[in-house]
Chain A
Amino acid sequence: MGQVLDEQGIAVRVGHHCARPVCLRYGIPATTRASFYLYSTPAEVDALVEGLEHVRNFFG
């Protein structure tokens, strides 16, 4: 998932995030995390949403 987003210029973090106990606690194998901050723009949020649509079609 991270790789497919990366190919569209979208950077996210994937996996256990150095916190495997938390993943085990919630019973999830891994997560993908998008981080936002003051400099993030609405256009970037739109790009992420489009990117996620693409991911869904790719693996679906």
Chain B
Amino acid sequence: MYQDVILDHYKHPHGRGLRDGDAEVHHVNPTCGDEITLRVKYDGSRIEDVSYEGQGCSISQASASVLNELLVGKELAEAQRIQGTFLELMQSKGQIEPDDAMEEILEDAVAFAGVSKYPARVKCALLSWMAWKDATAQALGDAERKSA
């Protein structure tokens, strides 16, 4: 389950630290004791930044690092496609063997394929992604309300 890619992201997280954002959320995964505070910054529909601070197991922290690497700079629609693909992989119970097409979308996130075999750990991998989804809904919801 623990690929070197995951341990690398855990030991050297990408884009960690809280920076300016349009919305902030705090999510907790009590089974492992993982916590994350995550902020999103949008420039229209483009993700300008995803910053985060967290503590917990290596899977949850590495996943946040991969998320930052994958989503910053992307258009929202593309980011949602990546999130959807990652969710599908994590819910596959180890039945999906990532192919080239999936690897092109998920890049380092395919390393989490093995985690999907451990039901207790799927939430660790998904914690930051659910936090991002929640923060995005808040940020863009606020923007809509302001422009209305």
Contacts and interface: CB of A to CB of B under 8 A. Distances in A.
Contacts of B34: 29-30
A31 B55 CA distance: 12
Nearest to B10: A59
Given A1-B57, A30-B56, A59-B58, A16 B33 contact: yes
Interface string A23-58: 100000111000000000000000000000000001
For the residues of A in contact with B, the DSSP-based class is mixed
Contacts, number: 35
Contact of B30 (A3, A4, A15, A59): A15
Residues of B in contact with A, size category: 10 to 19
Interface residues of A, number: 14
A11 to B, nearest CB: 13
Contacts of A3: 1-2, 118, 121
Interface string B55-85: 1111000000000000000000000000000
Given A3-B118, A29-B33, A59-B7, 8 more contacts: A1-B57, A3-B121, A15-B30, A15-B32, A16-B30, A29-B55, A30-B32, A30-B57
Interface of B: 1-2, 7, 10, 28, 30-35, 55-58, 118, 121
